[in-house]
Each structure stands twice: as C-alpha cells, then as structure tokens.
Structure 1
C-alpha cells in the first residue's frame, strides 16, 4: 500500500478542513511547497493535492501553489478539485502532474472521464466522495442520489487508474476511516481503490492494510500535521 500525504490548498496555504467545511479550516503551513518537501524528505513516494477553492469554483484556483510543489519536489502527485474539462486535464498533466482526480464530472459528465482515460492511460482517477453512501459533488456542497458503489462499478470498463474513496463524515475528524465501507467498495470493483477520510493513527493504517480487500493506498492529512502519525513509521508499516 502507498501512503499519500495530503496537502489541501485554500487561499494558497496548506490547510485541513473538518468534514469538508470551508469555514472550519486550520492552516498548517503558509508555504505548501515547503510542506511537500518535508513529506518527501521523510520518504513519501506520492503526494495527494486538493485545490479546495477550485472544487467550489469549478476551475483551478491554487495553480501557483500546485506548480511550486511540482517544480520543487519532482515527486509524483495527484490533484483533485476544479478539474472539469479536457483543457484543464491536459494543462495539468503537461505541467508535470502524474494523475488528475475527477470527482464532480464523474457524476455529471461520465463521457469526459472515459475520453480522458483513453487519452491519458494511467493518469486519470475518479474521486468518489460519499456521505452516508451517497456521492457528494461540487466540493461536497451537494449530495446526490447516486450510490457510491454503483458509480464505481460504472467505470469498471473505462480504464481509470484508481478510485479515491472518501468518507466525508470521517474526513478531518480524527475518528478513524470507514474501513468496512472502503473494503466493500474495493471488493466490488477491479479498479485500484485509495482510502481517504479519517486516517488518524498507525492502527488505522494497519486496519486498512489488513481489511481483506486489496487497497492501492491510503491518504492522510491532519494526523501527519498533528504528529499523530509518524510518516517514516507509517511508510514502513505499509511496505510490509
């Protein structure tokens, strides 16, 4: 399993939200690139980036911060938030992103996801953010009637590289991930699944590693900033 340290970007700063609430943001680093370099120095092999403002705006907002991270680290990174057309996908991949995450358009424009996956093999992930099993879109501001597992299954033949599954109720709450729901989703599809939301301890990472479903990795943010998870130890745990 891969551990993806999360750098959530709001107004050019590295922050963490509580359950996706933009009014409940804690700033952890004024310089996101410096934060990324800190994670890389400790051995991480990937970075997980989110343009929070972009998710609400429907277009990239924190582009300068993302570009600084890419240029200064050289570490593979995936980015979600505000990526809703082919031109934006192409622009980000041309700037050195290893993978883009498509969330809102995965619900609203599945044809775009399929087109992008064909055009950029291995570089398109689907972000499925769920609240009580139902998919939320537009920066989690809107909850749909779409079932998370059914959405994942609908992309089984699309060639997407991964599904990033976030349990919104757990995100930033330091209450542990929804292991049962994440494992159930991973068993339902052949697409690699990355767990997100609530990963707050080494114990949580072990639970995901040993859940009985083959997960590609796990994303953690607040726990790394708060020191609840030691990154070097976590990487060692997930590599065994």
Structure 2
C-alpha cells in the first residue's frame, strides 16, 4: 500500500511538472486545445495542460536558406546554373503552423521555382549586370506569395551565375571586341581634338609671319638636342624668300 501511494504521488508530480514550459525570447508556442487552435503563448513560463492541450514551438529568428543551384534558360536561350541565398522569418506563428504543413520546406520549394521563372524572363547580360534589380523582383514576388503563410521574406541575393566554358570564351571575345571598339573611338576623338588645336595654332602663326620662322628654329633646336649625326630638315620657300630677295637686290645694285 505505501508503494502504491508513492507511485501515485510521483506520477502526479511528474504530471504537474510537465505542465510547465519555458519559451525563449525568440520563441512562441502555438497552443491547440482538443485539436482546435486556442492561442499563441510566450515568451517565458507558460502552462500547457497535458492530454488536453498541445504546443508547437515556432522560432521567430531570421532564417538563412541556401537555395540550391538551378538550371535556368535565359530569354536569349543561354543555359546557366544559378544559386541564391534567401533571408526570411516568421511574423505570424498561427498562420505559419496552420496554413502550411512545413513552412521551411514550402518556402524553399517556392524560392527555387520563383528563381527559375524570374531569371528565365531576362537575358544573360541582365543576369550579370543587373543583379540588384533581379534580387528585388524575386524578393517582392516571394514575399507576396508567402504572406498568406505568415512568412516575411526580407532579402534575396543571387550568389553565383555559372556558365559553360564555351560561353565564357564567347563573352571574353565580346569584351575584347568592345575594348578595341572603345580604343578606336578614343583614338579618333583624340585625332579630332588634335586637328582642331593644330588649326587654331596655324591661325595664330599665320597672323605673324615671323612666328613661323621662330617655330622652325625651335624645332631645329629640339632636333639638335637628340645628338643626331645627320639632320634632314625641309625648308619652305616662304621662309628663305626674304633672304633670296635681299641677295638679288644686292646683285642688281652691284
């Protein structure tokens, strides 16, 4: 008889202690009474009546989910592999438990399909150069669809866009051709600016006849400083014409 009383007392104490649950600051408890939703409790010490009430813990912290690499065919028919990272958290514990069986798995599958559908509407150049815009489009679409589950998608970041070796070589050739084109354009613009400056210099020199002679002398000085043994320098007739006229006048006088 004493053993039976001790056993009953131990069972009662165990039952009483099992009623108390402790939830951390970032946790909430969704309570069901006889299978029907009752309320959301926490954080702190809460009481759950055994056999009558059941509790499901929900974590409210931000979840970092790695979206597996997806095979995507871009709008310009280029096959690429894209993976991303997803940041989301539960903002409504009741809907996260009642409206969807497994909100983590559901969000993961939805992120994969959304990533393929959104990127498939863009060209490869847009995937490589406009990641911020694509991230925002994916985040807004996911957030609108997971709102019914009590899930808030705060951010989506595309991590890698993997290309085939042949496509990498094609992009490298395209980039090289673009650099050559820019170099030719810059060279042509430089020639245009140089011709404009030469035309302005000619106008200034032409306004003063003596300035052309001084410029020739300056050029001879520059060439002589290079220690050349032989200097071939064209002399225009306009430059020596005054000298020839002076010599011809002296010959006539004599």
TM-score class, shorter-chain normalisation, is: under 0.3
Higher relative contact order (CA 8 A, sep 6+): 1
TM (norm. structure 1) is 0.19
